[in-house]
Amino acid sequence: MTTAKPKTALKKKTASADVPEAAADPTASSLYVQSVEKAMTVLTAFDGSKRQLSLSEIAALTGFDMSATQRFTYTLAALGYLFKDPDSRKYELSPKLLDFTYHYLTSNELVSRATPYLQQLGSETEEATNLTVLDDTDIVFVLRIVSRNVFNAHVITGSRLPAYCTAPGLAILATFGDGEIDDILARTNLVAYTSATVHQPRKIKERIAQIRKQGYAHTEDEYFVSDISTAAAITNAHGRAVGAVNIAVARPRWQADRDERRFADLVISTASAISSRRRAE
């Protein structure tokens, strides 16, 4: 089974003419501190595929020489963000990194607004409900309300999935301009995760046009086999998505003639309520 993983390397975003706030490469600025980027590169080398990494493995994953790798791992361990096993002499991430997640979740306005709505949606449907936001070419789960019928326990807060083949990602993309969508797709590794994955740019844009008409996105078996998802975008005052709400259902519990329209109405109304509350505040 394919599982969602954090990215192992920092992406440098490129801008297109239709992308809001397009700007020159920020890494070219004299204000850019490369040592901070390198420290983050070391941390993101721990992508969950291995619990512990040796110094040589970290060097290979980051592309740093052993001297630089040793300096960065030592510093991060001294600061408490890495733990060095005294027996294996390998490194692993420390719980201190969860402080960032905690502070993000407790201070994020969208998460605070959406929580009671997702809890109600989960209670009403007895299915997993999620709040996701777009980060570059991926969606990130920032709130997940699971149920006893949850399909995939491997998807947790912080999990990343590609936007182009997930219902929340497609719902978000549908609120963007065509030029911005083209830019995101051009920077995405468009692959078929399953036999049902729509990964051709032309077909992706065709389904986005349909999503704009119907007001919700729906995917089946496109990233996880037997996973069915229905999503709607949470928008700002300009109609641009700031996130998405989705309901995820395991195929054995799915009845197409009953569920797609019902869940579509639920995610549309929930996303609309969160959007309206955000504007009111």
In the chain, count of helices (H) and strands (E)? 9, 8
DSSP for 142-185? Answer: EEEE--TT-S-TT--TT-EEEGGGSHHHHHHHTTS-HHHHHHHH
Query: Does residue 189 have a pLDDT over 70?
Result: yes
| CB hemisphere CA count around 68 (13 angstroms) | 16
* pLDDT above 70 as % of the chain: 89
Query: Does residue 244 have a pLDDT over 80?
Result: yes
Give the CA dihedral 49, 73, 43, 190, nearest 10 degrees: -60
pLDDT (tens digit per residue) in 7-46:
444 444 444 444 444 457 888 899 999 999 999 999 999 9
pLDDT (tens digit per residue) in 95-143:
999 999 999 999 999 999 999 999 999 999 999 999 999 999 999 999 9
pLDDT of residue 229: 96
The CA distances from residue 124 to 46, 118, 127, in Å, are: 38, 10, 8
Could you tell me if 244 and 273 are in contact, meaning their C-beta atoms sit under 8 angstroms apart?
no
Q: What average pLDDT is seen over the chain?
A: 90
pLDDT of residue 280: 62
Pairing of strands 227-235, 91-93: unpaired
| CB hemisphere CA count around 168 (13 angstroms) | 28
| CB hemisphere CA count around 246 (13 angstroms) | 27
Rounded Cα distance, 151 and 91, in Å: 32
pLDDT of residue 201: 97
DSSP for 54-90? Answer: -HHHHHHHHT--HHHHHHHHHHHHHTTSEEE-TTT--
Kindly list the domain boundaries of the chain, sorted by start residue. Answer: 33-94, 108-280
Contacts of 187 (CB under 8 A, 6+ apart): 11, 13, 14, 136, 137
Average pLDDT, integer, range 165-183: 98
Query: Does residue 5 have a pLDDT over 90?
Result: no
Rounded Cα distance, 199 and 193, in Å: 9
| pLDDT band with cut points at 50, 70 and 90 for residue 276 | confident
pLDDT (tens digit per residue) in 250-275:
998 898 888 999 999 999 999 999 99
Residue closest to 248 by CA, chosen among 125, 140, 159: 125
CATH of domain 33-94: 1.10.10.10
End-to-end CA distance of the chain: 42
Query: Does residue 153 have a pLDDT over 80?
Result: no
CATH number of the domain at 108-280, out of 3.40.50.1820, 3.30.420.40, 3.40.250.10, 3.30.450.40? 3.30.450.40
Pairing of strands 241-250, 227-235: antiparallel
Average pLDDT, integer, range 190-212: 97
pLDDT of residue 257: 84
pLDDT of residue 47: 87
Residue 8 identity (one-letter amino acid): T
Sign of CA dihedral 268, 248, 115, 240: negative
Task: Please tell me the pTM assigned to this model.
Answer: 0.83
